[in-house]
Structure 1
Amino acid sequence: MRKKEKKSEIRSTAAARNKIPSNKRQSKPLSKSQSKSLNKSNSKSQESLLDIIQGKSNATSTAPMFVLPPPMETSHEDLTRSNQGLIAPQSQPVSNFQLPDSRTAKSMRLALLIPLTEQFTPSVESLIADSLRMLVKEVLILKINENLHDSLSTYRPDLLLCIGNQAAQSITPELVPQSIYTKTAIWLNDPYEPCEYIHSAYHDWSLVITQNMLHHPIYERYGYKNIIVMPYSADPMIYKPHRPQPEFHSDLLIVGNYSEERLPYIHAIRHRFEGKKVRALGQNWEPVDQIETCQADSETMISAYYNGANMIVHWDAAPRQLYEIAACGVFQIVENSPEIHELMKPGEDIIIYRNPEQLGSKLQYYSENTDDKRMIASRALYSSKYDYSYLQAAMKLIQQLNHL
């Protein structure tokens, strides 16, 4: 009788245990083999971003670290696929180019030559240097002076990367002799005008990096064969989302200079923003009615004007300005040019216009459809961190040098 009672108690206990939620059950202690496998899986999941960049993880190189929703088609001609039925969302890789071979990059010694006279903030120089240190074996920072020859002869880097235009004028055969057998690249500071020194440069650069696509054929005529377009990225210490003081706020901010040929665009803007606060960041705006000229004497103030704007329209902008506005997470409408399609993703993280009528219609659409406007701005902010950063630029540079 007692045996039957014990059996019934065991059955009732087992049944009650099955009713307990699985997350509240007491798990059995792990065996040694199970604990070892668990530790291995934990250590793999804690690999650093640097290990992933260097190809040390087991993840596939095409898998993005972050996946956004599929691109939104918005505003008139941007709705290119709306009548084609539903399309399954596809995740896109973070960058449009392959990672450099980690074995090749990690054996590379790089000398970074910084300017002495050009207006570069220390943070930009350190951003370039820190990004390169994540990819190559060693980075040595040098300056253009009489000791450069001795430093290069002693250090013997695999690559000499010069930042700015000063090197195009100052590098001579005496400072960088051909006997060193070093690949040389110059990253020009030429957002608006081509570098005038590169034409008569003493040194034959292995790679010329320009910030403006329009300068590419000019440097080609000078005899340079390896040329790429790569603007300086935004400084994340300055250009980042923040809430500025009320004196920097505007309903619309125009970035660019005023001229008479821009008058039809001004009429389109006034028609959509009548009675609202419109500001302009550029030159020759003083005689234009109903538009307030911004007074910015520092990059910090420029960032404040960007962040204070509900939306931004600009023309004749330097490529780097596209990245700086994107880094602030602000919606921007830009005049169409071939360069825009190379540097960003129109329809996804930036909106383009081709004439005054199109500008007016897109201003109207995105003023009424704030969710679409917010999505474009969010994608731009995401891209500024993972597609248009100095790390991505350094990866592109190393990959290009591997093909020289």
Structure 2
Amino acid sequence: MARNMRPSASLARYHRAGREAGYAEGLAAGYHLGRCEAVNRQISGLPERRWDVKIMYVTSGKWYPYKPIDDAIARGLLPIVREVSCFRWRIPTRGYPKQDLVGAVLRERPDLVICLDGIAMDLKQIDRIRSAGFRTAVWLTDDPYFTDVTSKIALHFDYVFTLELNCVEFYKQIGCPQVHYLPLAADTAMFRPRRVEPGLRRDVSFIGSGYWNRVRAIDAVSPYLAAKRVRFVGQWWNRLRSYKRFARDIELNRWLLPQDTAAAYNGSKIVLNIHRAHDDASYNNNRLLIPAVSPNPRTFEIAACGAFQLTDVREDIVRFYVPGEEIVTYQSPEDMVAKIEYYLTHESERREIAIRALRKTLEQHTYPKRLAELLRTVFGD
């Protein structure tokens, strides 16, 4: 009879250990979430002033992942200007009449027309708007990866805003008179600390496409990650040499909506941020091979979730976050492994860094704050 009781007693110990571990993890997550909420209540994320101007915002005309950015910009303008009108641009297709942006501008007479991306725009209409005396601006979102295309677009606008520091001089050299550095930001309506179900909790995650440099980075540390709870979401991750090892942890060719991406960040102890290489052959229009030094939008979105971020080095990241205090960077596969292991086993330090990054993001890197920089550039203080 004792022989029959042993498996039952052993199973009970496993259940008890599991409950205790789950309780401890839930308690720590709840405490962290409470601290994040306190930070959110302390900081509004809004600039100190409003501009007495009317803005017409022209959307990109594209769907995901541009639509969430379009929505974030439209929302971000509302509290900082007198009036906003949103022109929902559509990429011309059979069955849809040509949109009359010029007529809308002449009717509404905005002080500034802001376009996102510009690749799908009817540039002849932009030229007519400028000829009528209205100021125009374009915010380029894919530099330097599309500079072969955007170099033909930028010249049609009065103001060019680029999220890549190295592209400022490039646009000036081709003849753009007003070029300014303006990275994207965090949409705090979507990317914010939130409670997640236990099934979404992971040790390490990465959300994004499997560009070759990212694939090589994960392959290099795959023996270590194989023993962790991991999650990869996006296209091309079947390029991994170690794909079979991680197949059950990969959601291949899936695009997550912003709220689902935020849930993935909130559920991860460590969120990897591996920037796209400027010379990746997968999908690139950067014939001049302009190198990238600026942080991607993911940098701000992860931080806005109160999540801990481990990123490769981008030279200009120090403009936005303090390495080692608000964000952690790695230099090599060995360094990545060492830092993942350290911060998985030093929870208090990990959460303190995440809290500091959240605070910095709400103070400086929201869309209202970014758009305030744009308005200050155009209209002054």
Give me the TM-score of the superposition, normalised by structure 2.
0.68
* Matching residue of 1:162: 115
Q: Aligned pair count?
A: 308
- 1:294 is the counterpart of 2:251: yes
3-state secondary structure, aligned to 2:102:
helix
- 1:243 is the counterpart of 2:191: no
Amino acid at match of 1:294: E
Contact 2:275 2:296 in 1 (8 A): no
* Matching residue of 1:46: none
* Matching residue of 1:327: 304
Amino acid at match of 2:324: G
Report the CA distance between 1:319 and its aligned residue: 0.9
* Matching residue of 1:212: 164
Report the CA distance between 1:113 and its aligned residue: 1.7
Residue by residue, what CA displacement relative to the aligned partner does 1:49-78 show, whole Å, maximum 9, x if unpaired?
A: xxxxxxxxxxxxxxxxxx98xxxxxxxxxx
1:136 to 72, 81, 98: 81
* Matching residue of 2:342: 365
Q: Aligned partners of 1:129 and 1:275: how far apart in 2?
A: 43
* Matching residue of 1:228: 180
Q: Aligned partners of 2:370 and 2:213: how far apart in 1?
A: 37
Contact 2:203 2:228 in 1 (8 A): yes
Sort the Cα spacing of 1:147 and 1:157 in 2 relative to 1 into closer, same or farther, 3 A: same
* Matching residue of 2:329: 352
Amino acid at match of 2:59: I
Bigger relative CO (Cα 8 Å, ≥ 6 apart): 2
Q: Aligned partners of 1:371 and 1:333: how far apart in 2?
A: 16
Residue by residue, what CA displacement relative to the aligned partner does 1:300-336 show, whole Å, maximum 9, x if unpaired?
A: 4333322221112231257111122112211111000
Report the CA distance between 1:264 and its aligned residue: 6.8
Contact 1:333 1:351 in 2 (8 A): yes
1:395 to 357, 372, 377: 372
Moved more, 255-264 or 126-135: 255-264
Report the CA distance between 1:237 and its aligned residue: 3.8
Sort the Cα spacing of 1:122 and 1:368 in 2 relative to 1 into closer, same or farther, 3 A: closer
Report the CA distance between 1:373 and its aligned residue: 0.5
Residue by residue, what CA displacement relative to the aligned partner does 1:340-388 show, whole Å, maximum 9, x if unpaired?
A: 2234332332111122333233223322321111011112222333321
* Matching residue of 2:61: 116
Report the CA distance between 1:139 and its aligned residue: 1.8
3-state secondary structure, aligned to 1:384:
helix
- 1:312 is the counterpart of 2:271: yes
Report the CA distance between 1:281 and its aligned residue: 3.4
Amino acid at match of 2:193: P
1:188 to 132, 140, 144: 140
Sort the Cα spacing of 1:155 and 1:248 in 2 relative to 1 into closer, same or farther, 3 A: same
Moved more, 189-198 or 110-119: 189-198
3-state secondary structure, aligned to 1:150:
helix
Q: Which has the higher helix share?
A: 2
Structure 2 gap segments, 5+ residues each: 1-37, 90-97, 277-294
Q: Aligned partners of 1:261 and 1:323: how far apart in 2?
A: 19
Supply the RMSD in Å over aligned alpha carbons.
Answer: 3.6
Give me the TM-score of the superposition, normalised by structure 1.
0.64
Sort the Cα spacing of 1:363 and 1:137 in 2 relative to 1 into closer, same or farther, 3 A: same
Contact 1:281 1:294 in 2 (8 A): yes
Q: Aligned partners of 2:300 and 2:154: how far apart in 1?
A: 33
Contact 2:60 2:66 in 1 (8 A): no
Q: Aligned partners of 1:281 and 1:361: how far apart in 2?
A: 23
Q: Aligned partners of 1:344 and 1:137: how far apart in 2?
A: 32
Amino acid at match of 1:233: A
Sort the Cα spacing of 1:254 and 1:119 in 2 relative to 1 into closer, same or farther, 3 A: closer
Sort the Cα spacing of 1:297 and 1:151 in 2 relative to 1 into closer, same or farther, 3 A: closer
Structure 1 gap segments, 5+ residues each: 1-66, 69-92
Structure with bigger gyration radius: 1
Sort the Cα spacing of 1:124 and 1:360 in 2 relative to 1 into closer, same or farther, 3 A: closer
Sort the Cα spacing of 1:328 and 1:172 in 2 relative to 1 into closer, same or farther, 3 A: same
3-state secondary structure, aligned to 2:151:
coil
Contact 2:143 2:167 in 1 (8 A): no
Sort the Cα spacing of 1:269 and 1:403 in 2 relative to 1 into closer, same or farther, 3 A: farther
Amino acid at match of 1:304: A
Residue by residue, what CA displacement relative to the aligned partner does 1:223-272 show, whole Å, maximum 9, x if unpaired?
A: 2243233333333343222333444332112456364896576445644x
Sort the Cα spacing of 1:170 and 1:374 in 2 relative to 1 into closer, same or farther, 3 A: same
Q: Aligned partners of 1:125 and 1:158: how far apart in 2?
A: 19
Moved more, 108-117 or 214-223: 214-223
